[in-house]
Amino acid sequence: MQPDVAVPVLIVDDQRPFRLAAAAVLRRSVGFELVGEAETGEEALEQVAVLHPALVLMDINMPGINGIEATRRIVAAAPETVVFLCSTYQLSDLPGDAQTSGAAAYVNKEELGPAVLRRLWDERDGDGRLHTA
């Protein structure tokens, strides 16, 4: 499933260090391309409408609407968008609505790397369940 065109990716995180780290992961990931960054869920909604990313790496804990709510709104407005929730906590620590937000996968920030990104992307199946690395 190697695409000819790189997957356009939007990074959403209020903390600059993580945006830098995620951008570095994308640079080392063949087949993915960073197209934009957002610092809040609200900004992410605007960016999705303008940039049409295929994949959004979404932080969960942010000021304003959190990543789970932002995911719900993005998937409702642009259902073709694939969202991976990113957190430093375990999936089992997240509130129940993380499962039903419409996100395709959950990635622990400490595990985010080219291989994990590729695998979760290739395994995305839109079955509404949250896959993990």
Partner 1 sequence: MAIRVVLAEDNVLLREGMSRLVQGHDDLELAGTCGDLPSLLGLIDQEKPDVVVTDIRMPPTGTDEGIRAAAHLRVEHPSIGVVVLSQYANPAYALALLAEGSQGRAYLLKERVADVEELLVAIRQVAQGGSVIDPKVVDALVGASSPRSRSDLDRLTPREREILGEMAQGKSNAAIAATLVLSERAVEKHTNSIFSKLGLSEERDVNRRVKAVLLYLAARD
Binding site for partner 1 (CB under 8 A): 60-61, 66-68, 87-90, 92-96
Could you tell me the smallest distance in angstroms from the CB atom of residue 98 to partner 1? 8
Could you tell me the smallest distance in angstroms from the CB atom of residue 60 to partner 1? 5
Q: Which is nearer to partner 1, 109 or 118 (CB)?
A: 109
Q: Which is nearer to partner 1, 3 or 95 (CB)?
A: 95
Instruction: Say if CB 69 and CB 36 are below 8 A apart.
Output: no
Q: Which is nearer to partner 1, 36 or 41 (CB)?
A: 41
Q: Which is nearer to partner 1, 93 or 127 (CB)?
A: 93
Could you tell me the smallest distance in angstroms from the CB atom of residue 67 to partner 1? 7
DSSP the chain: ---SSPEEEEEE-S-HHHHHHHHHHHHTSTTEEEEEEESSHHHHHHHHHHH--SEEEEESS-SSS-HHHHHHHHHHH-TT-EEEEEESS-GGGS-GGGTTSS-SEEEEGGG-SHHHHHHHHHH---SS--EE-
Could you tell me the smallest distance in angstroms from the CB atom of residue 41 to partner 1? 11
Separation of CA 76 from chain center: 15
